[in-house]
Amino acid sequence: MNVNYKELAKKYGTPYYVYDFDSIKVNYHAIKDAFKARKSLVCYAVKANSNLSVIKTLANEGSGADCVSIGEVKRALKAGVPNYKIIFSGVGKSDEEIKQALELDILMINVESEAELFRVEIQAKELDKKARISIRVNPNIDPKTHPYISTGLHENKFGVDIDTAKRMYIKAKNSDFLDPVGIHFHIGSQLTELNPIKESSVIVADLVRTLKVIGVEIKFFDIGGGLGIQYKDETLIDPNEYVQAILETLFGLDVTVVCEPGRYIVGNTGEFVTKVLYEKNNGGKRFVVVDGAMNDLIRPSLYNAYHKIEVLNKMDKEKLNCNVVGPICESGDFFAKNIELPMTEHDDLMVIYSAGAYGFTMSSNYNTRNKVCELALENSSVRVIRKRDTFEDQIANEVEFLN
Ligand SMILES: *Cc1c(COP(=O)(O)O)cnc(C)c1O
């Protein structure tokens, strides 16, 4: 990224995340523009990076928000996303969350089971409202991605099968408190093959045509998110081919296409910057110990995910095999294993690329480590969009000791 990493480290400390807001806007428009004249709504998947400034930047470009908790719905509203562009998804919503979503009058609640439909109806009845809902269909298609981020097979916990969906739509149509306006599928994340998405869309579009015959008019056709990005050498789905493939399955249907990209919009726009503490050797194995850790960026530990790593100002030096590890008391605390890096010195800076999605949002205070600060590059200047935690922030709710 076109920033002075060293200066930022001096000013704000390490580790830190830095995001390129100009690229975030470019990525949003790459998808939005692919729909051209077609009625469409891009709802950014807030869980990928839920910093208010990130959401606000996208809201200003016209983006909606796909949320998976009432907390995310509140973030979206606070950041300026209008309620009629907010979708609430997720496999388990509490009564309180459903109630608040209805009161906030968002675009639709995305229902993931018959039992949940029943709870939504009860809550809507209590508020004397008609709940706009969509139903998440599980098309039982293998998305060919990592099993932890695959969601479109019956063996995954997400959505309902076609027959159950049909039953639910009929129930919703006959209810005074439910308005079935949408249909939804999302088969996985970091997808690099178009075919599974297309096959899913064929199945779900067929269901929409069947529903039409029995008097259920679907207005929103929600194709989920999942578009992959380049971490290493992945082949990518072209947004235009993606949209074209979806539209081809929608013949005879007058629907607004909704999509929910998360990683695609922010993944490659963020970097995690950490400082080298020391090098050590354990029986011939070289370790580079840095000040960032799995609590800051858990993807390598959780998914064995690859992130490109560079040592600043040293990449022309000879490279040797090593593991890059953090200070946390877990063997799983690593950013990379068996990669080639130049020999480092105390205080060298290391950049971990493609960390804009599922980076900070998955971070924790494990080992009583402060969550790091987040910076934004926009129009050639850098600003703080989240301050680093302090020790006091971390203990603030431990009331017994504070009173
Ligand atoms: C996580 C999620 C997304 C976003 O997935 P990406 O792979 O980041 O695009 C979209 N929709 C739903 C329902 C999700 O759970």
| Single residue among 213, 232, 261 that ends a domain in this structure | 261
CATH no. for residue 379?
2.40.37.10
Catalytic residue numbers read 329
What residue's CA is closest to ligand 1, atom 3?
225
Assess if residue 100 is contained within a domain: yes
Q: Facing residues of 137 across strands? A: 160
Single out the residue of 185, 120, 198 nearest to residue 159, CA to CA: 185
369 and 221 part of one domain: no
The answer to whether the CB of 186 is under 6 A from ligand 1 is yes
- Residue 387: C-alpha distances to residues 17, 23, 71, 263, 376 (Å): 11, 22, 20, 23, 12
273 and 249 part of one domain: no
For residue 383, how far is its CA from the centre of ligand 1 (angstroms)?
Answer: 28
- Count the domains in the chain: 2
Q: What is the spatial distance between Cα 136 and Cα 134, in angstroms, rounded to a whole number? A: 7
Assess if residue 25 is contained within a domain: no
For residue 110, how far is its CA from the centre of ligand 1 (angstroms)?
Answer: 13
| Single residue among 261, 290, 305 that ends a domain in this structure | 261
- DSSP 8-state symbol, 265: H
pTM to 2 decimals? Answer: 0.95
Domain that holds residue 183: 35-261
pLDDT tens over the chain, length 403 residues: 999 999 999 999 999 999 999 999 999 999 999 998 789 999 999 999 999 999 999 999 999 999 999 999 999 999 999 999 999 998 899 999 999 999 999 999 999 999 999 999 999 999 999 999 999 999 888 777 676 666 666 677 788 999 999 999 999 999 999 999 999 999 889 999 999 999 999 999 999 999 999 999 999 999 999 999 999 999 999 999 999 999 999 999 999 999 999 999 999 999 999 999 999 999 999 999 999 999 999 999 999 999 999 999 998 999 999 999 999 999 899 999 999 999 999 999 999 999 999 999 999 999 999 999 999 999 999 999 999 999 999 999 998 887 6
Assess if residue 238 is contained within a domain: yes
- Residue 63: C-alpha distances to residues 29, 43, 88, 103, 224 (Å): 9, 6, 15, 22, 14
The answer to whether the CB of 45 is under 6 A from ligand 1 is yes
CATH no. for residue 82?
3.20.20.10
The answer to whether the CB of 263 is under 6 A from ligand 1 is yes
Assess if residue 64 is contained within a domain: yes
The answer to whether the CB of 27 is under 6 A from ligand 1 is no
Do the bridges between strand 319-325 and strand 285-290 make them parallel or antiparallel, or are there none, so unpaired? parallel
For residue 345, how far is its CA from the centre of ligand 1 (angstroms)?
Answer: 39
| Single residue among 245, 261, 277 that ends a domain in this structure | 261
